[in-house]
Structure 1
Amino acid sequence: MNTISFAGLGIEEPLLSRLADFGISEPSPVQAESIPAALSGRDVLAQSQTGTGKTLAYLLPVLQQMNPEEKALQGVILAPTQELAMQIYREAEKYGEPLGVGVQALIGGAAIKRQLERLRQHPQLVVGTPGRIREIQALRKIKLHTVRTVVVDEVDQMFQLGGTADVEHILRGTLRERQLMFLSATINEEIRSLAAKEMKDPVEIGIEPEQRTAKSLEHIYFITEERDKIDMLRRVIRHYDPARTIVFINHTDHISEVEAKMNYLGLHAGALYGDADKTVRAATLRRFREGKIRVLVASDIAARGLDIEDLDLVVNLDPPPDTEHYVHRVGRTARMGRKGLAVSIISAKEQFIIRKFSRELRIQISLREMYAGNVIKPDSVSSGRRKAVKGAGRASEGRSATASKSSSHQVTSGQGLPRKGAENKAGISTAASGSRSVTKRLGPGSVKGDNRTSKKNDQDRKNKGAPRWLKDKQNKG
């Protein structure tokens, strides 16, 4: 069977050489479907799992069709978050450099003055967030009437973050005959409605739409008390010992607390959330990529679309709000066919959420337990406990049998008993010694088992502390 190549899809030099420099030789399924359609100028609505190479699926044809000699803006790529926009920008710079295509980042949170200065270099491609591009557009510092291609990445997240109005405003400023591409891991009715409104006869690409998570990704979960979740997180990270881990938190108020506890445990954690300063977020991501931070505690917004190399473990310390968030969280690992592990740490009352994800996504999310420092199946835990109990029972029986045997041996051999002739030397036998001790306890003149003596002794105990006249009266009686 002939293997599809990038050259066979229509990609030309020097992009082919650039792909080879980074060890990319074969296109992924979404790239194989999207690149020919994009090169032909068709509008594209593509759905594919996260980590399948969607960025290159649109970036390669967009760059190849640009004219570096034309000092005008020709393409715009929109991303919902600053981190994803920066990631796309770095890829665009990397592949656009050999073509001589100028790329500019227009991202919210950064100094707008510096961005305006760089726009004077007349880049052919702009990568940014919709809010910042619209802001610069309102200042009349960017002209979109020459834009021939618009790409909206993670379009479903764009809807959730309320950026749809900005996207529509930007689209109205571009050429009427422009090319439009929407890409995401999930496509809902709102996206289809916008596509029907803005696109012309789009090519719809769905790479295994029923398989919304990577096949090479393993899904498991642990049940623990709410107060023990941090400790379970520690045990999970210590057990699997990955080079990098992303831990997802639902509420940003809890991120700093989890970060502090991870650092206290010596796991070198950093925080990434939407309200943080852009410079701080960029520095945190850089340290995480470089391996200086081992655990990245993040919110959904901040970690949307991140592509981190050698990321083997993703942990949901809080259950995702819905299946779409679950898909995007776990999609940070097992990218481009590599293996990965997605772990959810939940309380017993949250177990129904995991069942819902498993049912709606048609994936197996298996229950696991920590037992004796190992991660095993629950039935294995019960089996191990039964074996431990049986083993303890056998050991107890063995000890009892040994003790009984030892006792029998001692009696038979006469150990622990007076030697023959010992009573003659002492002038008293063991039995006699025992009689004297009993006599001493019961009182003078008493005989063991005499009820009258016992009653008298009981009466004496009752009279102890009574007035003298009462004692004399009772004695007389």
Structure 2
Amino acid sequence: MSTSFEQLQIAQTYLDKLQELGIGEPTPIQAEGIPVLLQGKDAIIQSQTGTGKTLAYLLPALERIDPTQKQLQVMIIVPTRELGMQIMQEIEKLTSGGPIRSQSLIGGAAVARQIEKLRLHPHIVVGTPGRLLELMKVRKLTLHHVKMGIVDEVDQVFELGSMQDVEAVLKGMLRTSQMVFVSATIPQSTEQAAGRWLKDPVIIKINPSQRTAETLEHHYVVCQEREKIDTLRRLVRMIKPTSAIVFINVTDDIAQVVGKLQYVGLSVEALYGEASKQDRAKVMGNFREGKFQLLLATDVAARGLDIEGVTHVFHLDVATNAEYYLHRVGRTGRMGREGTSISIVTSRELFIIEKFEKQLGITIEPKAMYEGRLVDPAQDRSAATMRSRREAARPSAAPSRSGSTGAREAAAPASAVRVSAVAPDARGQQAAAPAKPAAQGKTAAAGKAVSKAQRERDRKSKGAPRWLKEKQQNKEE
């Protein structure tokens, strides 16, 4: 029996907003998480990416706000600016035209402007740990009235070297405040940290064994390291994705990779970590509007992003661990939509793919490009074999690439025999094929011997400098 938002006791104001947004029924994580949070209990919410976790905590958080009070009542901590802006957009959709005020407090924006907006007394803020702590130290932000604190992508927040900042921010809240930790992956270290801040938390996990969406397809393509850029180009030209994200591991390489991809004709822009808030917002806005095809990003930059229309994720660099792979592929196949993940790997990186399969309980299928399609490598090999057989059977008018005089002499009589065997005589009758000259067999045998000796010399001189090869050739002549 399906559950409706009405049954979850959501206020009519938000029911109307959900209807306007085209959101009909709650997802499993929303149906299970919303009642727990509405009761004011601490919780750990874990569910695969793209299942609606943001709405699962936003609706109860907004329900707890008293708009008649001027104090800050809900705080959401995020690891990145992009995720913060994305959550702010969801809040604005749900609260537009209403009395609830919201504000983002993320790094990269002007502090003075944020301080000025704090004078409007927002009811809910979304911020990064460093900026929140900075405003607390100058006493422009107080958390004494916060009823509910939420840490989204909690494992990433703790891993980004901001553990001390997060703890300092959480200490500014009352012990009676409700705390919620949210992520698609909750490692053991995060659970241990949660034990310090959460009081008897309710652990909500939906299909923990199903780590990725069932609508996702996982593939990998093998090539040499120097061919990765061209392999990506060929894949994009072949698949023609409307919108896709390309992941790399090293931030320092991102400008160089963008240049290479643009040089080969791909429509791509990058999400730079050191770029200003305005530049990053512009890139994300243009990507959402479809002004370019590929978004190049690192794991941190794209963490938690929900971009409608992303059909493919390409791993130009294989993910450093299974958790990063999980969050990467979660950028597509969201909310029941289909999606495809393609890892571009070398033969030495195949063990990483096998490790991901075991750790995540998924199958990552090998693929090859053949005649404009992604096919099984076995099918590609059989096709290549058939091509080589057809080429071998096709008569060649050109002389042998070896350049052997004996080979050319041996080929000439055979060609003459084939032609004369079907050539008509002067009276229109087919003439009999002339007998094979007795010396022809000897000539062919001599030609084979010369060709074999030439091949042996070529093999021995392989890798020799050009001047030495030319000297040897002149000596033979």
Which band: TM-score by shorter chain? 0.7 to 0.9
Q: In the TM superposition, what is the alpha-carbon distance from 1:345 to its structure 2 partner?
A: 0.5
Structure 2 partner of 1:84:
83
Contact persistence 1:71–1:123 (CA under 8 A): yes
Contact persistence 1:14–1:98 (CA under 8 A): no
Contact persistence 2:107–2:130 (CA under 8 A): yes
Cα distance in structure 2, aligned partners of 1:403 and 1:55: 80
| TM-score for both structures, normalised by structure 1 | 0.83
Cα distance in structure 1, aligned partners of 2:378 and 2:26: 42
Q: Deviations over 1:63-109 (max 9, x none)?
A: 01211111111010000111111111111121123542110110111
Structure 1 partner of 2:118:
119
Contact persistence 1:14–1:99 (CA under 8 A): no
Q: Deviations over 1:382-414 (max 9, x none)?
A: 2212333444566669xxx99977633437777
Q: Which residues of structure 1 form unaligned runs of 5+?
A: 419-477
Residue 410 of structure 1: which of 420, 423, 427 is its match?
423
Contact persistence 2:238–2:373 (CA under 8 A): yes
The verdict on how the C-alpha distance between 1:339 and 1:404 changes in structure 2, with shifts beyond 3 A counting, is farther
The verdict on how the C-alpha distance between 1:324 and 1:417 changes in structure 2, with shifts beyond 3 A counting, is closer
Contact persistence 2:243–2:312 (CA under 8 A): yes
The secondary structure found in structure 2 opposite 1:38 is helix
Q: In the TM superposition, what is the alpha-carbon distance from 1:160 to its structure 2 partner?
A: 1.2
The secondary structure found in structure 2 opposite 1:238 is helix
Structure 2 partner of 1:285:
284
AA partner of residue 112 (structure 1): V
Q: How does 1:240-389 map to 2 (within 5 A)?
A: 240-389=239-388
Cα distance in structure 1, aligned partners of 2:422 and 2:315: 63
Q: In the TM superposition, what is the alpha-carbon distance from 1:3 to its structure 2 partner?
A: 2.1
Q: Deviations over 1:302-347 (max 9, x none)?
A: 1111111100011110011111111111111111110001111111
Contact persistence 2:248–2:298 (CA under 8 A): yes
The verdict on how the C-alpha distance between 1:417 and 1:93 changes in structure 2, with shifts beyond 3 A counting, is closer
The yes-or-no answer on 1:219 pairing with 2:218 is yes
Structure 2 partner of 1:208:
207
Q: Which moved more, 1:297-306 or 1:402-411?
A: 402-411
Cα distance in structure 2, aligned partners of 1:403 and 1:197: 92
Contact persistence 2:314–2:341 (CA under 8 A): yes
| TM-score for both structures, normalised by structure 2 | 0.83
Contact persistence 1:15–1:98 (CA under 8 A): no
The secondary structure found in structure 2 opposite 1:273 is coil
State the number of aligned residues. Answer: 415
Q: In the TM superposition, what is the alpha-carbon distance from 1:264 to its structure 2 partner?
A: 2.4
Q: Deviations over 1:410-449 (max 9, x none)?
A: 377778999xxxxxxxxxxxxxxxxxxxxxxxxxxxxxxx
Structure 1 partner of 2:73:
74
Structure 1 partner of 2:408:
none
Q: Deviations over 1:171-228 (max 9, x none)?
A: 2111221110000011111211122221111110111111111111111011111111
Q: Which moved more, 1:158-167 or 1:406-415?
A: 406-415
Contact persistence 1:244–1:294 (CA under 8 A): yes
| Percentage of matched positions with identical amino acids | 48
CA root-mean-square deviation: 2.3
Cα distance in structure 2, aligned partners of 1:312 and 1:269: 15
Structure 1 partner of 2:171:
172
Contact persistence 1:47–1:184 (CA under 8 A): yes
Contact persistence 2:423–2:430 (CA under 8 A): no
Q: Deviations over 1:259-315 (max 9, x none)?
A: 122222332211112222222111111111111121111111111111111000111
The secondary structure found in structure 2 opposite 1:150 is strand
The secondary structure found in structure 2 opposite 1:369 is strand
Q: In the TM superposition, what is the alpha-carbon distance from 1:35 to its structure 2 partner?
A: 0.4
Contact persistence 2:217–2:339 (CA under 8 A): yes
AA partner of residue 297 (structure 1): L
